Structure 1
């Protein structure tokens, strides 16, 4: 009886090791096609073991063969698409939003792009007496909000100009459009947006994008408050905290940095 238990335990260990080796192989293939011999060398396994594992993964469509070696197969690509579609960004972001609000005292928002508009998806109310009136579900022209600008950081300058003019009813002057484009260039260089509301409500925000597994901007996160609370001297440390929160959320939804 004891011998049977020992044999089962040994089989479990071997099975786990085989699984981990297969996962190591897929981690290597993420960066591009690679030959079995190179996999064996990089992962410290025999060529026979590497060949056996890649053939098993290929038989289940997790890998495919190209002229440059083994690459991601259709099964993995299918799973990747399904995983992306099923991500609940608000649910993933919520704990990080709460922590950011607790540390800063400010309202924290996340929002997404809807065509030429930004939609606020969720809010964590800060501890300050003066609170930002924006609520989940509110939709604004995308070039008009800090969240919206963060969602646009990957767009071309011509798109920035077009969306700014559109947000102002086509009445923006060429000088105003140029100033907005210059402003967006600065935001993009820093990776974060410092936004002062144009609505006369005295609200200031700091926003930064959150990226998905493909490196594309999925949503954005921001802190917001009255300008006399979110002051210039506090901005660097606050921007760092917002960007760190965005990095953690991005990692939680599969982003691993530029490839």
Structure 2
């Protein structure tokens, strides 16, 4: 008995999706699309024409076609529907259980950190952050992680604006030296700049475009967070951040 064939409409849809995938990474000509998609030139030409008319494809030059603006619009719509808090929660829970420390998730707004989630430490300590609360980005670990891609001039303006809020007096030269180390390493510390006795290790989260959209951190008091433990936590926090970022579409 022969296998049932897919309805014509389904075949057309699948071929259209196949054409989109063919040009996902670089513009291609119709003959190239036909060959890669395994369809005839006539079928490829027809599908390309329809997709171009409805803006899913665009003509790059006289012979090449690439992804059109409609695909970009849908991509951003999909991103906006992705709730970073929900995506991050399972990973944050595992991180909190593994470290026994306070775990934060935060985003950046106008140079300030906004806490999206907080998992309390199992240790007998209290950290003043709260979900929905704000703190200066220049003094917090998550804040500095959120600023890792920020141009230097913007960083200077932000530091000058908020340096008076830092609990540990830090010169501009010293702060930027640390930021360059963090930028190279893909992590950030809070060395008591936000609260004297609190230490923190943080890392950024990236979306499908590679943009930093949030950051996570592990925080505790100096008693539990000496320099050697902070260094040991860097790969742990970065690994968790990478896992969450993959959930956000970052490759």
State if a TM-score over 0.5 links the two structures.
yes
Counterpart check, 1:221 vs 2:205: no
Alignment partner, residue 154 of structure 2: 159
Choose the corresponding residue for 1:110, options 100, 105, 114: 105
CA contact (8 A) 2:113 2:134 kept: yes
Aligned with 1:233: secondary structure? helix
| Residues 83 and 200 of structure 1: CA distance in aligned 2, closer, same or farther (over 3 Å) | closer
Q: How does 1:1-259 map to 2 (within 5 A)?
A: 9-11=4-6, 19=13, 22-42=16-36, 47-67=41-61, 69-169=64-164, 176-256=171-251
TM score, norm. by length of structure 1 = 0.83
| Residues 166 and 85 of structure 1: CA distance in aligned 2, closer, same or farther (over 3 Å) | same
Q: Deviations over 1:181-213 (max 9, x none)?
A: 111000000000022122453111111111122
Report which stretch shifted further, 38-47 or 240-249. 38-47
- Give unpaired runs (5+ residues) of structure 2: none
Question: In 1, Cα distance between the equivalents of 2:99 and 2:35?
Answer: 48
Aligned with 1:168: secondary structure? helix
| Residues 21 and 103 of structure 1: CA distance in aligned 2, closer, same or farther (over 3 Å) | farther
Question: In 2, Cα distance between the equivalents of 1:232 and 1:45?
Answer: 60
Question: In 2, Cα distance between the equivalents of 1:192 and 1:165?
Answer: 22
| Residues 200 and 220 of structure 1: CA distance in aligned 2, closer, same or farther (over 3 Å) | closer
The alpha-carbon deviation at position 32 of structure 1 amounts to 3.0
TM score, norm. by length of structure 2 = 0.85
Root mean square deviation, CA, Å: 2.9
CA contact (8 A) 1:161 1:178 kept: no
| Residues 204 and 83 of structure 1: CA distance in aligned 2, closer, same or farther (over 3 Å) | same
| Residues 45 and 231 of structure 1: CA distance in aligned 2, closer, same or farther (over 3 Å) | farther
The alpha-carbon deviation at position 48 of structure 1 amounts to 4.7
Aligned with 2:228: secondary structure? coil
Matched residues, number = 249
Aligned with 1:178: secondary structure? helix
Question: In 2, Cα distance between the equivalents of 1:26 and 1:243?
Answer: 33
Question: In 2, Cα distance between the equivalents of 1:102 and 1:87?
Answer: 25
Q: Deviations over 1:146-193 (max 9, x none)?
A: 11111111112222222222112399xxx8101111110000000000
